Structure 1
Amino acid sequence: MAEKEVPFCIFFREARSVFKLDELGREIARIALPAALALTADPIASLVDTAFIGQIGPVELAAVGISIAVFNQASRIAIFPLVSVTTSFVAEEDAITKVSPEPRDNESQDIQSQDVEGLDTESQSNSENKELIPQNRSVYKSKTTATSFEVVKPKPEKKHIPSASSALIIGAILGFIQAVFLISGAKPILSFMGVKHGSPMLKPAQEYLKLRSLGAPAVLLSLAMQGVFRGFKDTKTPLFATVAGDLTNIILDPIFIFAFHMGVRGAAIAHVISQYLISVILFWRLMEKVDLLPPSLKYMQFARFLTNGFLLLMRVIAVTFCVTLAASLAARLGPTEMAAFQVCLQVWLTTSLLADGLAVAGQAILASAFAQNDFSRATATASRVLQLGLVLGLVLALILGVGLHFGARLFTKDVNVIHLIGIGIPFVAATQPINALAFVFDGVNFGASDFAYSAYSMVTVALFSIVFLFILSSSYKFVGIWVALTIYMSLRALAGFWRIGTRTGPWKFLKS
């Protein structure tokens, strides 16, 4: 019967159940809502930075805009592969451990060799509602042995997850490399982005980029740890840490920028402090759940991490190059165009990341389902998160289409910048459904560990998009850049659907 279905309908079937709060719906909500809030917290903090700096002047706003674009895109090159691979691997290892826990002496063996076939659905749903600790009766003291005078407190044994240790080590190394690269190469990098010698944007952009780069190790470590927590289907802990850090950033921004008269330097310092606070909170919580000291290097499975991480590195470089090129082309048009582009881009990315919460939920649940060969659950999860992503995109399009016209003045008082923001609003609003589906398709394919297809398809999309960016920006300037970005997201969503819709790769089971 499945072979006769139209591929598009396979993943949008039973649409009437899109808001149903059944077991799957509740699990998606438990993971997606905190994840979406955590993912949008940092872009919101960047929006707050943008709003405060916009009060200084349009030159400073444009300068910080290009620096944020450089830092974020450099971070994504390292963060995206690390977090995505970590989430999938931790979810797989945690699911397998819950099914057939091994004695500690045997934990150094390859986790993928454990046989997990035959798991029933009931045991899976029960395990998802319990704390992230091994379900071993020996972990706890029996309450019957306690006297009436003592209070027995359960002492959960720490988990032994190879991917958690690997992610932290790789994250620390990549964070240090990124900091050195951006600090030492700030001037030539900004020059490549269109901020040439003699430009009024050069000094503030260079100051902001160098100072903010000091927080790169904290950013990489915190996001690596977020990947671990997502794999455990715990998105509340990253949310708590991120909100605590970003509130600190928002409080320190006006103090450093205006009270201490530090300008853009104050905004960068406030952001760095907030990132290290997030890292400390997450590390403290992770130490309570996971044994981070592996017995051997073989136990850490670096080869598996690096192989799949390299594939996603190809993908993120392609994505990064497209967005960075768009920012560079806007910067070459002048400070006014770059300031307007920065506001539109930050709003575009912030709202799009709401859909990434659904992608995180889909990835974590799908990774567990595939590890347990529960293909019916994999199909149901893919359908539900895609349906929710489309609805979210339509709602965001309506909100932004109306609200951004009134909210533009929160970022700047410059009339020319506000005019250009008004031109960009239709593109920001209209692409929300496309963006939402593109992000969710990414999560679905990552949950199936289909990293190779995700990498090669994105490189192909990027090549076409780069051509459109050059052609359209040269002819239609600011508008042309946004038309090209719209084409880019459309191709990205189509590539995400193609693999699932054609039922190839890990989705071959849909043919049976």
Structure 2
Amino acid sequence: MGMVLPVKLKKGKDIPSASTAMVFGLVLGLLQTLFLVFGAKILLLVMGVKPNSPMMKPALKYLTLRSMGAPAVLLSLAMQGIFRGFKDTKTPLYATVVGDVTNIILDPIFIFVLRLGVSGAAIAHVLSQYLITLILLCQLVKQVKLLPFHIKDLQFGRFLKNGVMLMGRVIAVTFCVTLSASMAARLGPTPMAAFQICLQVWLTSSLLADGLAVAGQAILACAFAEKDYEKVAAVAVRVLQMSFVMGMGLAVVVGVGLHFGSGIFSKDAAVLRLISIGVVFVAVTQPINSLAFVCDGVNFGSSDFAYTAYSMILVGGASIASIFLLSKSNGFIGIWVALTIYMVLRAFAGIWRMVTGTGPWRFLRTPL
């Protein structure tokens, strides 16, 4: 999972913060690749994949190949953050759609025509990520000078301050989801297959709310910079209302779609039976997930990085404990109950800051 540093920018020839974001993205991407390549087998063992498991060999191939795309993923995320600073959400959307469509086209070619199997899926994904990065880079160089003449112009101090806090948050989020997958893997191949299908639908549908979060984040950042608190309050309320409505709609679409369309993902009766259980949690949590994602965008728009980091670490700690306890006692259902608790706590933490009128939201306790 990548990290995006939201920045407020004006289009120009020389923007040090843009260059700094690119440098951080590239360095972190290379480090992530090295970590995943040399630690792939250890990571899979930690995830619960046993050495003699039939999942070990294909999982090892897939993880190793996918890791090659880490620099592209983090570079593209950094550039998406830069475009957000320009209030340009169309360019990242265009690049992402082109990359995803390319991935969809290449998947069956590499997997079935060239008979590369799991390796083909990983290669298709990596190529699509580099295509997204290339498109974004070509558009970005038309607007800014990415490399300043002096290294001292790079704003490493500023980025490290906020970056370390956000990195802690990303680690907490990633660990919760990874641990839940690990617990599912320990239950066996069938529960793992059903869990991964439900998880991918759960995350994909929930991330649709991220588009609303990005829009709210950009508008709020400008409103805070201009100290237009009336606009801040109006935008925050509106995006939260819209996120809940979106979540309700997603609950119906995902619930009905996964209930009747689960056969697209698997023909195994045991897997389908577990999916029918997981779909309840996937659908019911959609409004909560939408609120959680949009709350993140709202708090990022207020530059409240410290709170979002510390609150997520606390939420992550409580969620990790619930994943361990509930997966041991209730298996597949327990994992989904724990993930529901995780998203409820995440949404609560995001809303709490605004409701209590603390931090950058102190103005809510005084008449506008």
How far off its partner does 1:505 sit?
0.7
The amino acid across from 1:182 in the alignment is L
User: Identity over aligned residues, as a percent?
Assistant: 65
Gaps of 5+ in 1: 1-75, 95-132, 134-157
Cα separation, 2, equivalents of 1:455 and 1:220 = 19
Q: Match for 1:305 among 135, 145, 159?
A: 159
1:440 corresponds to which residue?
A: 294
CA displacement, residues 368-408 of structure 1 (integer Å, 9 cap, x when unaligned): 11112121111111111101001000111111221211111
Q: Match for 1:197 among 21, 27, 51?
A: 51
The amino acid across from 1:295 in the alignment is F
The amino acid across from 1:429 in the alignment is A
Q: Which structure 2 residues correspond to residues 22-37 of structure 1 after superposition, within 5 A?
A: none
2:365 corresponds to which residue?
A: 511
1:113 corresponds to which residue?
A: none
The amino acid across from 1:191 in the alignment is L
The amino acid across from 1:403 in the alignment is G
Q: TM-score, normalised by structure 1?
A: 0.70
1:170 corresponds to which residue?
A: 24
Cα separation, 2, equivalents of 1:453 and 1:239 = 29
The amino acid across from 1:175 in the alignment is G
CA displacement, residues 159-204 of structure 1 (integer Å, 9 cap, x when unaligned): 4322211111111111111111101111111011011111100000
Q: Which structure 2 residues correspond to residues 106-505 of structure 1 after superposition, within 5 A?
A: 133=11, 158-505=12-359
Cα separation, 2, equivalents of 1:239 and 1:444 = 20
Corresponding residue SS for 2:267: coil
CA displacement, residues 253-299 of structure 1 (integer Å, 9 cap, x when unaligned): 11111111111111111111111111111100000011112233332
Q: Larger Rg: 1 or 2? A: 1
Corresponding residue SS for 1:348: helix
CA displacement, residues 104-154 of structure 1 (integer Å, 9 cap, x when unaligned): xxxxxxxxxxxxxxxxxxxxxxxxxxxxx4xxxxxxxxxxxxxxxxxxxxx
Cα separation, 1, equivalents of 2:220 and 2:198 = 33
Cα separation, 2, equivalents of 1:245 and 1:397 = 27
Cα separation, 1, equivalents of 2:152 and 2:261 = 53
CA displacement, residues 1-24 of structure 1 (integer Å, 9 cap, x when unaligned): xxxxxxxxxxxxxxxxxxxxxxxx
Q: Which structure 2 residues correspond to residues 60-139 of structure 1 after superposition, within 5 A?
A: 76=1, 79-80=2-3, 83=4, 85=5, 87=6, 89=7, 91=8, 93-94=9-10, 133=11
How far off its partner does 1:511 sit?
1.9
How far off its partner does 1:460 sit?
1.0
Cα separation, 2, equivalents of 1:382 and 1:298 = 37
The amino acid across from 1:511 in the alignment is R
More displaced 10-residue stretch of structure 1: 366-375 or 492-501: 366-375
Cα separation, 1, equivalents of 2:229 and 2:178 = 38
Cα separation, 2, equivalents of 1:504 and 1:159 = 38
Cα separation, 1, equivalents of 2:66 and 2:313 = 29
How far off its partner does 1:322 sit?
0.9
Corresponding residue SS for 1:288: coil
Cα separation, 2, equivalents of 1:474 and 1:242 = 39
CA displacement, residues 463-485 of structure 1 (integer Å, 9 cap, x when unaligned): 11111111111111000000010
Corresponding residue SS for 2:207: helix
How far off its partner does 1:246 sit?
1.5
Cα separation, 2, equivalents of 1:369 and 1:296 = 32
Q: TM-score, normalised by structure 2?
A: 0.97
Corresponding residue SS for 1:197: coil
The amino acid across from 1:393 in the alignment is G
1:116 corresponds to which residue?
A: none
The amino acid across from 2:108 in the alignment is P
| Number of matched pairs | 366
Which structure has the higher relative contact order (CA within 8 Å, separation 6+)?
1
How far off its partner does 1:362 sit?
1.2
Cα separation, 2, equivalents of 1:229 and 1:211 = 29
Cα separation, 2, equivalents of 1:297 and 1:357 = 34
The amino acid across from 1:508 in the alignment is R
